Structures are given as structure tokens and as C-alpha cells.
Structure 1
Amino acid sequence: MRENLDTKKLYDLLKTKENTYFLTFDVVDMEGINAISYVAGNLAIAEAEKRIRDYSPKDMTLVYLGEDKFVLVTGIINIREAQALAQKIVDLNGEPIVFDYEELPIYLRVGGTKIENIVDYCELLSTLNATIEKPKEEKVECAFLE
């Protein structure tokens, strides 16, 4: 069962997932989608969340970071398993949502990183932001931090 977490519960959960892979997601060209309509942008965010939830095991925790960004706390310790999960989700790229009788293809970028030691929440967020930026910088759908 999935649950909503306050910041304290989230931090406690994340501490139990040290030495595992976290996957970060953002919607490609969110500004362009919002330029069409903020309603279209909200639909794109909802679709991103649906794809991640539908294609990840139920025991994983999905956290909405704001804007168009998410982090999936996987509990996976093997990089190949984490990469396979990431690929399964980005394989859905290009599948559209319908807004105002028009199909809008939605694309997600995914970054991955193994969080080995969570010292504090600010450091964790800094690492997650770097993970989000990695595929953008490399201009790819999926990239993992070393």
C-alpha cells in the first residue's frame, strides 16, 4: 500500500534505503507543454506519476519533489536492475496524453544514483538535483551518476 509521507517520515524512510539506487524523473519540455496550457502541464505531471507508479514495484516509494520532478526510492542495490527499471519507464516515451482534442506526446528523463550515506536532508536534495540534471546535460533519456 502506498502512503503519503511527511518530511520526518520521508527522511527516516530514506535513511533505511542507504546503499540503494534512487531514480529521478522529470518531464521533457515542460515549459513548452505549459505554454500550451497549465492544464496540459498538470496532465503531463499526472501522466508522469502514473507511468512511474504503474511500472515500478508497489514496495517502492515515489516522492513528488515539485514542479515536474519525482524521485523513486527503489531499494535496488544492483545497477543493472536499476537501469532496467529506468529503461522500462522511458520505453513509454512518446506515448501521448490528450488535451483539448489534441495528442501531446510525453517524454520523461530519468537519472539514477546510488545513495550511500545520507548525512542530512539538504545534502540529499543536492545529490538528487545533480541526478536530475545529469541526463539533461548529456542530452539523453537516461543517465546514472557514478
Structure 2
Amino acid sequence: MQKYFELTSALEYIEDHMLDNCSQADIAHAACVSLSALQKMFRFTFGYSINEYIMKRKMTTAAEELSETKIPVADLAFKYGYTSTEAFSRAFSKVNCVLPSEYRKGKRAQAVFTPLQIDDTGIRRKSPLLIEAVHRAKDCYIVCFDVAGMVKINEISKEAGNLALMEAVRRIHTHAVENMQIFRIGGDEFALITPYPNISDAEAFAAGVLAHNGEPFFYKGQPVPLYLRSWYGKNVLTEAAPNPAKELQQKVKYQGVTEIQNEK
């Protein structure tokens, strides 16, 4: 229970002081634990460093502001602690897979990096926007995609990995129609909430995106072929889901729907 108290205190402090540029030492002090102990505990429990978690939470809330307000990107960058719009845009695209300007235009993949919660039942992450979107389309198909060979792309560089994710989102948007919502539900996994009640339409949409398989994106002038995989199915999320994104990913993937694959 002591560990839960320390981690919960750290998570609450981060959420309350996200825009204060608080240091890791400040967070450890608030959690009544040494900095080294908190760093080890945080990464072991959640799989993220403290700084990575803070960055992803900042960019998720910044994305919400971009879509709901008209605040200039430069002002938003300053608000979230960045000294330039370029640095802010790089961080933003790592989490949301598009630049801020494209996100505001609607070419987005909504991140579901909502605050973590931990208790005796385990780790929970609420995703109200994802649940709401699925409930609105509960009789329709959800089409999911991921990047094949992402580990090898990241071995080239993390920057190449980020470009691969941005290209994946661009391809999905190329075939998306109005009112479709895209959510980033994992490291390289995306869910598209469609208006299609028939599996044939979902299959056709997935096939359209996968028709681009093998087309390259460019990293430092060099072509890197990109391949996506897809699966799809109907699903209804529950309000009580401890991690809606993970539940969606598993329920859709393991419904028995044939997975489309077209990779090298």
C-alpha cells in the first residue's frame, strides 16, 4: 500500500503542477520518497520515465486546447514550457502523430494518454472521449491499424519511428470520410471509429489504406518502405473498463475477424 500511496501522490502532483515546470525532485518530495526510488518505481510500474509521462500528458492536454480553442500555437508552446514553436511541434507530433497546425485542421489522431490511476485493483486509465465515440457508433465497425516492423524502424532512429507514425496517420486520413475519429490506442496502433454497419465497408476501407503498403517515407533523404496491418470488428466499451484503449484493441482484434496483412 505504501507504494500505491507514493505513486498516487506523484501522479496527483504532476497533474496539479503540469504547467509549473516542476522538477522530478519536487515530485519526489511531494510523494515523500527519494528521487532515485521514485524514478525506479515509476518506470517499473508504468513503463515510462517520469519526464516521458509528463511530456505525454502535456501534449495530450495541449491537443485538447488546440481543438477546443483558437489560442495561437506559439502561445500554447510558451504555456506548456517550450521556448520555441519548433520544439513544441516536435514534442506534439511524437504524441499526436501530426503537427499542431494539421491537428487543428482535423487531421488528427486523438491521443488517449489520460491520467493514470493506481489502486489495489491495478492500474487504470480512463478514456472518456474514446468511450463516447464508440458508444455513438456501437452498431458500426471499428478498423484498427498498426505499423509492421516498427522495432526495425526505431532501430534506424526514434525520429524515423516518429515519421513512420505520422505517415501512417496521413494514409488513414487519405481514405477517411467526414466525422470519422482516429484514436492512438497504443505505441504504434490506431483505431478508426467508422460509420459503417456492414463488414464489407470496413474491409474496403482497410484495403484502401493497405493498398499503400510498400510506399516509402523519407528519413534524411533515404526512402524507408512502410507497411501497415489492419484488423476490425464491432465493439462496445463499458464505463468500468480499466483501460478502454487496451480493451478496444483486444476485443476488436480477437473477435475472430480475419486480419488483413500485406507486408514485406
127, 131, 145: which one pairs with 1:25? 145
State yes or no: 1:79 paired with 2:199.
Answer: yes
222, 227, 232: which one pairs with 1:107? 227
Question: Which structure has the larger Rg?
Answer: 2
Partner of 2:77: none
The amino acid of 2:169's aligned partner reads E
The TM-score, its normalising length taken from structure 1, stands at: 0.82
How many pairs were matched up?
A: 139
Q: Following TM superposition, by how much is the alpha carbon of 1:81 offset from its aligned partner in structure 2, in angstroms?
A: 0.6
- Residues 111-138 of structure 1, C-alpha deviation per residue, up to 9 Å, x if partnerless? 00112x333434753242354579xxx8
State yes or no: 1:55 paired with 2:175.
Answer: yes
Once the two structures are overlaid, the 10-residue window that deviates more, 7-16 or 80-89, is: 7-16
Contact kept? 1:61, 1:73, Cα under 8 Å:
yes
The amino acid of 1:40's aligned partner reads A
Could you say if the C-alpha distance between residues 128 and 35 of structure 1 is closer, same or farther in structure 2, counting changes exceeding 3 Å?
Answer: same
38, 46, 70: which one pairs with 2:158? 38
Contact kept? 1:110, 1:132, Cα under 8 Å:
no
* DSSP 3-state at the match of 2:183: strand
Higher relative contact order (CA 8 A, sep 6+): 1
State yes or no: 1:118 paired with 2:118.
Answer: no
Structure 2 Cα separation of the partners of residues 81 and 19 of structure 1: 13
Q: Following TM superposition, by how much is the alpha carbon of 1:140 offset from its aligned partner in structure 2, in angstroms?
A: 4.9
- Residues 34-60 of structure 1, C-alpha deviation per residue, up to 9 Å, x if partnerless? 001110000000000110011111210
Task: Give 1 or 2: higher helix fraction.
Answer: 2
Query: Where in structure 2 are there 5+ consecutive unaligned residues?
Result: 1-104, 113-126
- Aligned-residue sequence identity (percent) comes to 28
The TM-score, its normalising length taken from structure 2, stands at: 0.47
Partner of 1:67: 187
Partner of 2:250: 129
Task: Give 1 or 2: higher strand fraction.
Answer: 1
Query: Where in structure 1 are there 5+ consecutive unaligned residues?
Result: none
Provide the alpha-carbon RMSD of the alignment.
Answer: 2.7
